[in-house]
Amino acid sequence: MEVPPPLVLKRPLYVPSKTLMGPGPSNCSQRVLEAMSNPILGQLHPECLQIMDEIKEGIKYIFQTLNDATMCISGSGHSGMEAAMSNLIEDGDVVLTGICGIWGHRAADMARRYGADVRYVEASFGRSLSLEEIKFAFHTHKPRVFFMAQGDSSTGILQGHIREIGELCRQYDCFLVVDVVASLGGTEFFMDEWKVDVAYTGSQKALGAPAGITPISFSKRALTHIRQRKTKPKVYYFDILLVGQYWGCYGMPRIYHHTISSTLLYGLREALANFCAMGLKSVVHRHKECSTRLQLGIEELGLEMFVAHESERLSTVNAIKVPFGVDWRKVAEYAMRKYNLEISGGLGPTVEHVFRIGLMGENATVEKVDMVLSILHEAIQSIKQRAP
């Protein structure tokens, strides 16, 4: 054999324990980690299907929806975005994306690949979109699909007005896709009441499950549209009619669609059970309280939040301006080296400009807020002293 077995794989696996307070993933609870060491099940074993049914109930609760087409895509948050776009879009459809950071651009990139005629409505730097801006864009573009991220993790912006946008979409016969990957659990979200047609969230953020399995839900109206498409969705793996049949959403016999990771199901099931036991209101309240405490602490340290308006700040991912003359990388390295603490830099429009501090799931506690503030302060002071 020309290729010998690699020496690196003879060494034992080493995984350090880190406190993950960047934009995600967040740390999993012991309950979630332990659940994932259960034996593997086959993807159509009744016990596995039972767990999937329980997960569906949990997702309906956290999304506040009664949609039958509620399931998971096997993949990270991006797969939720792909599933939303590939199922809704047909060639030539006008897709309007709201831009408050990178996620609107990412959705636009995907939409274009599925044959959409993509238009943008872009918020001013550091702001969310006003309802007037959105209404004007609808009037101009008359979109078939409107995409927005409720929480843009690249900027720490919270986009409001979803209820009003839901109404607007009905007036224009448009489908509303809301990315709640970074926001769910950190702010209110009512899928049915707000007339959202597709929502998906990240398992690895406020939910506190591992990445790789994405809760998603489609409204009845979206499902009817998908059933009446002229052509099949372009990606077999994300075809919601097939995935939903595997998840037992449509009252039809289950089919094999793909081999789901039973391990990820266990983790997600336990994360959802934990979330449900605490209750949606209390989870949201805790995330908001932690973010408020962080923001006050940031002010006390003489630092500034990137998003000027308090009401437009995401509680889960907090963007803080990097002080003049400080290299954010050195600060992040200091926190990681000395405390095994992840603080992240910016992304897209905020790259080099902000620190991003995630307060999600296990890490949305008063103790963790105080810890991250103290380490951030120490790191900045240390870097400043070392600066030439």
> In angstroms, rounded to a whole number, what is the distance separating the alpha carbons of residues 29 and 10?
30
Minimum CB separation from ligand PMP for residue 54, in Å?
22
Q: Identify the three-state secondary structure at position 123.
A: coil
What is the sign, positive or negative, of the torsion defined by CA atoms of 321, 325, 328, 331? negative
The reply to whether 77 sits near ligand PMP by the rule CB under 6 A is: yes
State which of residues 49, 211, 336, 371 lies at the interface with ligand PMP (CB under 6 A).
Answer: 211
Minimum CB separation from ligand PMP for residue 149, in Å?
4
State which of residues 27, 65, 74, 153 lies at the interface with ligand PMP (CB under 6 A).
Answer: 153
Contacts of 65 by beta carbon, 8 Å cutoff, 6+ apart: 191, 192, 199, 217, 219
Tokens 């309906």 label which residue?
Answer: 60
Span interacting with ligand PMP, options 70-78, 240-248, 290-298, 351-359, rule CB under 6 A: 70-78
Minimum CB separation from ligand PMP for residue 153, in Å?
3
The reply to whether 202 sits near ligand PMP by the rule CB under 6 A is: yes
The reply to whether 182 sits near ligand PMP by the rule CB under 6 A is: yes
Nearest partner of 274 among 265, 287, 283, 261, judged by Cα: 283
The reply to whether 267 sits near ligand PMP by the rule CB under 6 A is: no
State which of residues 27, 76, 187, 363 lies at the interface with ligand PMP (CB under 6 A).
Answer: 76
229 alpha carbon, distance to own chain's centre: 28
Supply angle C-alpha 283, 178, 163, rounded to 5. Answer: 80
Find the residue with minimal CB distance to ligand PMP. Answer: 77
Q: Which amino acid is at 164?
A: E
**Region 84-143 residues binding ligand PMP, contact defined as CB under 6 A:** 103
Minimum CB separation from ligand PMP for residue 231, in Å?
26
Contact 182, 316 (CB under 8 A): yes
Minimum CB separation from ligand PMP for residue 388, in Å?
35
Site string for ligand PMP, 335-354 (x = CB under 6 A): --------------------
> In angstroms, rounded to a whole number, what is the distance separating the alpha carbons of residues 301 and 38?
45
Nearest partner of 332 among 260, 382, 264, 265, judged by Cα: 382
The reply to whether 361 sits near ligand PMP by the rule CB under 6 A is: no
**Exposed, middle or buried: residue 304 (CB in 10 Å: 0-12, 13-18, 19+)?**
middle
Closest CB to ligand PMP among 179 and 342? 179
Closest CB to ligand PMP among 157 and 383? 157
> In angstroms, rounded to a whole number, what is the distance separating the alpha carbons of residues 247 and 56?
8
- For residue 230, the tally of other CB atoms under 10 A from its CB is 6
> In angstroms, rounded to a whole number, what is the distance separating the alpha carbons of residues 323 and 34?
41
Site size for ligand PMP (CB under 6 A): 15
Minimum CB separation from ligand PMP for residue 315, in Å?
14
Span interacting with ligand PMP, options 73-81, 238-246, 269-277, 331-339, rule CB under 6 A: 73-81
What is the binding site for ligand PMP (CB under 6 A)?
23-24, 76-78, 103, 149, 151-153, 179, 181-182, 202, 211
